[in-house]
Structure 1
């Protein structure tokens, strides 16, 4: 009898062990590797560590990049679904679309997806239902236009360098056109569908636009140096929505700290690991904006940044 009691006691202890003691797995994927998306990944991992999840101790962190290939993103999504992790975290709109299409059961927390409704990731931002929630990084586009105009008061045409096949960038184009029209500014489009086309698409803006603007577009950002070279040679100031791109040669950006975006995402993942249902968690919008300027890039592209802009920058690169 005593042995049976002890066995029952042990079984009860196992059954009532908190979620934290249970080994779990989190599978993370991104459409491509570049500083912003890498920062999101690192932020997710660090937020989970702060929540008590230690990689290799009580949970497993899995990461794969699609290397810019949507077909690979779909393949990774199917592989992850087959592996059945506790949560899948797709970084970027293309990866999120691939994962959401692949599962209706495994919890999904997307991140760095500007327009989740337009991308058909969720039907509503409030308590989306089902197995999906996440984080939107919708850019403050009207503020970007205002910043460009503050730096270059005579701007008449903004060149929009983007991947026309990326839903996120198409959605942002519509927002940009509306914001620019209010300032009497025309948008000139130039598209690249893969990284090898970025330089040519940037060159197509020379003589047609006063500035070049790159949204949070994974294809363009992954090959940003090609656009920077064109901008320097053509004296076409390059602005971006991605603050990490300023260290790579853009003049200025007003946007999110993507490491913080990752940490905000990781908090949501931890809530799900501890028992909440993704469909009951509102889709959040990334918090905070940083102004980063590159004084050296401005000189190379033939402009001088107003002192007022430099003074309020959260980070300055010389």
Structure 2
């Protein structure tokens, strides 16, 4: 090859080097913050988180490749929520996944800029997270856990499975629970239609739970509704044990209570919400704004029944109710 041809060839190859270098440049790693409202040891919460990570992987976001996740577990301690929320926000992630109303509230207090996608939030409008379902309008969007009418459905279902119930206490911790006012209109309407009474039973600590359950046990028609609450969820084993010990018919807001021995539950599919949240995170990482992603209310509700617990309470579960159940534990 002549010298001039070699130099020309070499110059042409060199011109392509920047293009090749750019083509081989590794993809930017995105940072996702995750703030869970449950204990790190909670097997259900870890399963939901795994579902979220799996959905992200299916959408092309894998840890160690183009994604890094900073995970924090907040439990039901509201002071801890604020500390961890600030810790995550200070990392300046590309987006944050938030679980439960108190956790989301703590994050919203810390940032109005970083995109937040929530799950397990009962009423995002009343909580001030979004201007409307169709147009959230800020940096927060996600997936609502319950509609306000769910309160009446809990009352109706408890009456159906335990017909002698005439008085119901609503167990919750004011510091961590979904605002009771969201559900009260439908609860009071159902109570009136079934000639029942419904009373709030706030507790500030786990040592107060037994007093509420015992009080309902002294009432021949006493029953209990365990309201949506990070505190009651964290103490579900204790609550289920106490309601069994005192033989108090109780309805819960999630199937994992029934798996632990609770009588009956009507609530959202948590796994589905985490799958959906991964979809919103993916869209945000690709350039969409939370303000343009509508808040979605849950469409899949699960009815779970524990027949062993029903038998221990001397309750006969109607066949019509069994036919509607999504999960039956025998």
Q: Tell whether the structures are fold-level matches, with TM greater than 0.5.
A: yes
Q: Is the 8 A contact 2:158 2:250 kept in 1?
A: no
Unmatched 5+ stretches in structure 1:
none
Please state if 1:288 is matched with 2:303.
Answer: no
Tell me whether 188-197 or 250-259 shows the greater mean CA deviation.
Answer: 188-197
C-alpha distance in 1 between matches for 2:89 and 2:211: 38
Cα shift readout 1:238-275 (whole Å, capped 9, x = no counterpart): 21011111011111112222111211121111111111
Cα shift readout 1:173-204 (whole Å, capped 9, x = no counterpart): 42423433343321122112233433333333
- Tell me the secondary structure at the aligned position of residue 168 of structure 1: coil
> Which residue number in structure 1 is paired with residue 202 of structure 2?
191
Q: Is the 8 A contact 1:39 1:262 kept in 2?
A: no
> Which residue number in structure 2 is paired with residue 236 of structure 1?
248
Please state if 1:32 is matched with 2:38.
Answer: yes
> Which residue number in structure 2 is paired with residue 60 of structure 1?
68
Q: Is the 8 A contact 1:231 1:301 kept in 2?
A: no
> Which residue number in structure 2 is paired with residue 263 of structure 1?
275
> Which residue number in structure 2 is paired with residue 166 of structure 1?
176
> Which residue number in structure 2 is paired with residue 155 of structure 1?
165
Q: Is the 8 A contact 2:255 2:266 kept in 1?
A: yes
Give the direction of change, closer, same or farther, for the CA distance of 1:314–1:202 in structure 2 (3 Å limit): same
> Which residue number in structure 1 is paired with residue 93 of structure 2?
85
**What TM-score comes out, normalization by structure 1 length?**
0.90
RMSD of equivalent CA atoms: 2.3
Map 1:1-318 to 2 at 5 A. 5-6=15-16, 8-9=18-19, 13=23, 21-33=27-39, 34=42, 37-138=45-146, 140-174=150-184, 175-208=186-219, 210-318=222-330
Give the direction of change, closer, same or farther, for the CA distance of 1:234–1:158 in structure 2 (3 Å limit): same
Tell me whether 94-103 or 127-136 shows the greater mean CA deviation.
Answer: 127-136
C-alpha distance in 2 between matches for 1:4 and 1:73: 55
Tell me whether 272-281 or 194-203 shows the greater mean CA deviation.
Answer: 194-203
Shift of 1:38: 3.9
C-alpha distance in 1 between matches for 2:312 and 2:128: 41
**What TM-score comes out, normalization by structure 2 length?**
0.87
C-alpha distance in 2 between matches for 1:43 and 1:120: 28
Q: Is the 8 A contact 2:213 2:248 kept in 1?
A: no
Structure exhibiting the larger radius of gyration computed from Cα positions = 2
Tell me whether 87-96 or 158-167 shows the greater mean CA deviation.
Answer: 158-167
Give the direction of change, closer, same or farther, for the CA distance of 1:36–1:143 in structure 2 (3 Å limit): farther
Tell me whether 255-264 or 194-203 shows the greater mean CA deviation.
Answer: 194-203
C-alpha distance in 2 between matches for 1:168 and 1:36: 20
Aligned pair count reads: 314
